Chains A and B, each alone.
Chain A
Amino acid sequence: MNSMLERLSKEFRVTDITERHPGLTTLTADKDVAETLLRELRDREGYTHLNFMTAIDYIERGVFTLVYMLHNYATKSTLSVHVNIDRVNAEMTSIHTLWAQAWTYQRELRELWGINFPGSPRVEEDFCLEGWEEIPPMRREFDTVEYCERTFTSREGRGTVNPREHMAEIIFPNRGGDK
């Protein structure tokens, strides 16, 4: 395991190697070597199982972190490969030729995050949504509550009172700290 990680950090310049719990290691790879790295891991290191791939929106850093979770059945170890890509015109090499379910994930990422995977089959098709006109909903700047209020209607007649403010109003309207 360690020798493999050493080799990877030498050959693929992977960084941030962290063991999260026994059997789960995370590392960060550059965007341009990511596909080669995944292929290498699958073919030479026995990480034959793609658990899933997904993205995390680090809006404060201006990147999407793509997460490829790979599993090696023989050594029972899981490797989480992180790849940071730009949020603007987000695009990533497709890995649909490595794993058959990858293109489904890529469709989802394309739809819910707006990350493009050129060459991935049916990537332009609707996946979960239909006729979506807003920014991709999984992006952090998409405000789901605001969207709901704008689009859907809730039942009227609701409304709550804050106990603390209510008591202040009833019991000590002129007291307490200056407002």
Chain B
Amino acid sequence: MNTVDEILDYAIDQEQQAADFYADMAKRAEKGGMKEIFLEFSAEEERHRDKLLNVKQGDQELHANQAVINLKISDYLVDVEPHENISYQDALIVAMKRERAAFRLYSDMAEKVTEPALQDVFLGLAKEEAKHKLFFESEYDERVLKDN
């Protein structure tokens, strides 16, 4: 991965894989209502993919310097294995963890490469994933940690 386009292609592929993963989960989900949730997640990932496609075509830009809140919820949660009878809470954990992993990956890559242009792309992608993580963490904060 030496060019910006290559990196973006990789990232787009990752998002596509995620979308497919959730679509597959939706098919397999047994619990009432979880199908819709996974389809929503899948759609969310497709939105991410589309955004990167736009970036690749030059219609949108990635911002390496934007500030994204890190709620750090996923940092201390245990890993959950996705399965057919997964609950909403666990599904969110899966999603958060996936976004967190991607975020870590891009951050590491940014540290490793020396070329500033590539570094910017990786940082931009990391921020993008951080935003995605924030989306799921907010959702978790709102719907699971509601203390009723």
The reply to whether A and B meet directly (CB within 8 Å) is no
Name B's A-contacting residues (CB within 8 A): none
